[in-house]
Amino acid sequence: MPKIDIDAAPRGSGTRYPKPYDEPCLMRAWSRVGDAADLTQFGVNVVTLAPGVWSSQRHWHSHEDEFVWVLEGEVMMVTDAGEETLRAGDCAGFKAGVKDGHHFQNRSQKDVKLLVIGTRNDDDYGEYPDIDMKFLAGRYEGSAMFRRKDGSPF
């Protein structure tokens, strides 16, 4: 059935980041609308950020493109180039392999809803430029592992 029942889509919240890097993302929530349609080549999520919550730590991907469209609210996009306010209707894209650390912070007093679309690639790895953390390839196989940049485990 092509029409997606958004209310029945798998939901989640929080983060898998190790402490102390988990704190700004603990209250993020998402609905996996792409999974509800059994899509496997790319993910489609509606992400909700309560006031003060971040989408992630600032990061980049080696093998995955990302597209983010602001559905509701106002959010601060933080990239290597600086900060820029995005409002409902604005969107941004991040090309795989470009080492431009990015994330979104809700600095407003209202919830923000983002449509986040990204390719799924088991070879994907990346880094978090602001903190001593990277992620290893294979995370879609359940072997997601965060490491310090020197490769040591948390």
The reported pLDDT for the residue numbered 142 is: 42
Domain-wise residue ranges, the chain: 6-147
Query: Is domain 6-147 in CATH 3.40.605.10, yes or no?
Result: no
The reported pLDDT for the residue numbered 143 is: 41
Residue type, 75: V
Cis before residue 24, ω within 30 degrees of 0? Answer: no
The reported pLDDT for the residue numbered 140 is: 54
Q: What is the 3-state secondary structure (H, E, C) of the chain?
A: CCCCCHHHCCEEECCCCCCCCCHHHCCCEEECHHHHCCCCCEEEEEEEECCCCECCCCEEECCCCEEEEEEECEEEEEECCEEEEEECCCEEEECCCCCCCEEEECCCCCCEEEEEEEECCCCCCEEECCCCEEECCCHHHCCCCEECCCCCEC
The reported pLDDT for the residue numbered 1 is: 58
pLDDT one digit per residue (tens) for the chain, 154 residues = 589 999 999 999 999 899 999 999 999 999 999 999 999 999 999 999 999 999 999 999 999 999 999 999 999 999 999 999 999 999 999 999 999 999 999 999 999 999 999 999 989 999 999 999 999 998 655 445 899 999 998 8
